[in-house]
Amino acid sequence: MTGTTPTAWQQRIDTLLCALADARRDAAAAQAREVALLAEAVEIAQAMAQDAGGPTSVTDIPIRSLAAQIGAAARVSDRTVQKHMSDAVVLVERFPATFAAWAAGDVSRGHARVLVETGAAIEDDAARAVFEDAALEVARRETPGRLKPAARLLAARLHPIPLQERHTAAATKREVWVRDLDDGMAELIAILPAAIAHGIRDRIDQYARRVMDARGALTGGGANTSGTPGSVNTGAGAVGATSDGALLPHADTPGTRPDTRPIDARRVSEVRADVFADLLLTGHASPDVSNDAIPAGEAIIARVQVTVPVLTAVGADDAPAELVGKGPIDTATALRLAGTATGWDRVLTHPITGNVLAIDRYRPSDHLKRTLRVRDEHCRFPGCRMPTGRSDIDHTIAREHDGPTELTNLAHLCRRHHTLKHNSAWRVRQTPDGILHWTSPTGRDYPDHPARTLVFTVTTEQETATVTADTGPPAEPPPC
């Protein structure tokens, strides 16, 4: 199609996108149909077991037998089939709205899995139906990854047992153990409270990024954070970094002797593992294992963002706090973290939509940046969950086009989507409530709502808690 005009290319892409949307809806309908058949298989097997009237110990034989028949016909393990049969019953019987939305192509298998996993603990049928309705509104416009923390928070508000009580019981199961692997390796596993686990990972990431940045500066290239081995220039005069951070001349560099020390070409995942081991074994990231970019005595403190409802903070409510971007955490942990914080951000939100209106602090510093971090939580391109700490603050209307440096013209974009915005036909505009309306090259509108616009209102009627979610304007129907 040499010489094709841009309009013709857009028409071809538009046709392709419509065809893909149709294919995904057809695939969702077929997958849901298979789930319905597996649920029907369980019903048949249960009826057969009841007719047989055998001993209780063998009443699952009809289900095993039918699972084996399905597995043989589909060339799938009968154990796998039996698990899928059980999962199908849970979805069809306990989450009918989710199943219907999946069958209609409104949501995907991934969305359905998230809703079942997060809502399974809600035993009351009426409360679970409320959970489905609210969570499905989010699912219809967000990816499964973005849906999960919102759905977990919804489920926590509807669970019959308070989160603090459940957390106290779950914390007694914290543990560390080792599982041996092949080739002289082992897996170290820890079950910890969520705030501590994410804090550990954040601290490790900070060390790892410092190591990678230092290596990039020494080799003359950028930090390699993609998870792939770093490339090393092998031309004359090239230099690399040794494992202890020293410069390593190339063997062909005039006037130098070859250095036999290995070039540090670890992937970022390897650096994380080395930092993890070093911190636990020595209390700091030592030069021998991690890199001398981090002085041994320098303290790197984990960064976790916790949101505590003001009524919870003053003891007037038991609404769960939130580990931002991950889900609810127990109130005691949240208040303890708030008590040790060097300062609090007071976040002022709209009482109906939940939009962040302003943020202030007794000793304000980087006021606008903090406001944006609270509002955005992650990259604001649809579906992306790159944390704000690893994203750029971008002017929606560029500075060179007189775009103001203010809340309604700024948003976090990860490097990938920041580059896409400035080097492709994608366009974006921001409304005063912080919604980014992304327009694709073919003219489709994809609104991205700030994560904080999911607001929960709890009412009690006849001892049944119900939750409503104000998720902003209804999602626009897909263009095809």
pLDDT tens readout for residues 74-94: 998 989 999 999 999 999 999
Same domain? For 65 and 158 the reply is yes
Specify the higher pLDDT residue, 51 or 3.
Answer: 51
Give a yes or no: residue 334 inside a domain. no
Using alpha carbons, select from 270, 262, 272, 237 the residue that is nearest to residue 251: 237
Taking 80 as the threshold, does the pLDDT of residue 126 lie above it?
yes
The answer for residues whose C-beta is within 8 angstroms of residue 444's C-beta and 6 or more apart is 17, 479
Same domain? For 100 and 43 the reply is yes
Count the alpha carbons within 13 Å of 67 in the hemisphere toward its beta carbon: 19
Task: Compute the Cα dihedral for 362, 366, 368, 371 and give only its sign.
Answer: negative
Same domain? For 205 and 141 the reply is no
Q: What is the mean pLDDT of residues 312-335?
A: 75
pLDDT bracket for residue 225 (50, 70, 90) = very low
Give a yes or no: residue 303 inside a domain. no
Q: What pLDDT is stored for residue 156 in this prediction?
A: 86
Assigned token pair, 164: 């603090």
Same domain? For 275 and 372 the reply is no
Neighbours of 66 (CB within 10 A): 20
Q: How far apart are the first and last CA of the chain?
A: 25
Give a yes or no: residue 314 inside a domain. no
| Residue range 378-432, pLDDT digits in tens | 999 998 888 888 898 899 998 788 788 888 889 999 999 999 898 888 999 999 8
pLDDT bracket for residue 436 (50, 70, 90) = very high
* % the chain with pLDDT above 90: 26
Same domain? For 58 and 155 the reply is yes
Of the listed ranges 19-33, 162-176, 273-287, 398-412, the least confidently predicted one is 273-287
Taking 60 as the threshold, does the pLDDT of residue 7 lie above it?
yes
Q: Which domain holds residue 393?
A: 355-453
pLDDT bracket for residue 294 (50, 70, 90) = low
Which CA distances in Å does 36 have to 33, 42, 129? 5, 10, 19
| Residue range 190-208, pLDDT digits in tens | 888 888 888 888 888 888 8
Q: What is the mean pLDDT of residues 317-336?
A: 77
Cβ contact 46:85 at 8 Å: no
Taking 90 as the threshold, does the pLDDT of residue 136 lie above it?
yes
The dihedral region occupied by 289, where left means phi > 0, alpha psi between -120 and 50, and beta the remainder, is alpha
Same domain? For 24 and 167 the reply is yes
Chosen domain end from 117, 141, 171: 171
Give a yes or no: residue 322 inside a domain. no
Give a yes or no: residue 320 inside a domain. no
Mean pLDDT of the chain: 76
pLDDT bracket for residue 47 (50, 70, 90) = confident
Same domain? For 161 and 39 the reply is yes
Same domain? For 42 and 115 the reply is yes
| Residue range 58-68, pLDDT digits in tens | 567 888 889 99
Alpha-carbon distance of 88 to 116, in angstroms, equals: 11
Distance of CA 51 to the CA centre of its chain: 47
Same domain? For 277 and 363 the reply is no
Q: What pLDDT is stored for residue 469 in this prediction?
A: 46
Partners of 439 in the β-ladder: 427, 445
Q: What is the mean pLDDT of residues 210-217?
A: 74
Alpha-carbon distance of 97 to 152, in angstroms, equals: 18
Instruction: Tell whether pTM > 0.75.
Output: no
The amino acid at residue 273 is A
| Residue range 443-454, pLDDT digits in tens | 889 999 887 665
Q: What pLDDT is stored for residue 229 in this prediction?
A: 33
Q: What is the mean pLDDT of residues 137-157?
A: 90
Same domain? For 167 and 198 the reply is no
Give a yes or no: residue 337 inside a domain. no
Q: What is the mean pLDDT of residues 39-67?
A: 79
Q: What pLDDT is stored for residue 299 in this prediction?
A: 57
Give a yes or no: residue 305 inside a domain. no
Q: What pLDDT is stored for residue 181 in this prediction?
A: 83
Give a yes or no: residue 225 inside a domain. yes
Alpha-carbon distance of 115 to 135, in angstroms, equals: 7
Give the best-scoring range by mean pLDDT among 112-121, 313-322, 396-405.
112-121
The answer for residues whose C-beta is within 8 angstroms of residue 80's C-beta and 6 or more apart is 71
Chosen domain end from 257, 282, 307: 282
Specify the higher pLDDT residue, 469 or 312.
Answer: 312
Same domain? For 48 and 140 the reply is yes
Which CA distances in Å does 118 have to 114, 131, 133? 6, 10, 14
Q: What pLDDT is stored for residue 41 in this prediction?
A: 93
pLDDT bracket for residue 287 (50, 70, 90) = very low
Q: What pLDDT is stored for residue 100 in this prediction?
A: 96
Helix (H) or strand (E) holding 249: strand 247-249
Q: What is the mean pLDDT of residues 169-186?
A: 83
Same domain? For 54 and 158 the reply is yes
Q: In total, how many domains does the chain have?
A: 3
| Residue range 231-272, pLDDT digits in tens | 323 232 223 333 333 333 333 334 444 455 456 777 777 777
Q: What pLDDT is stored for residue 186 in this prediction?
A: 84
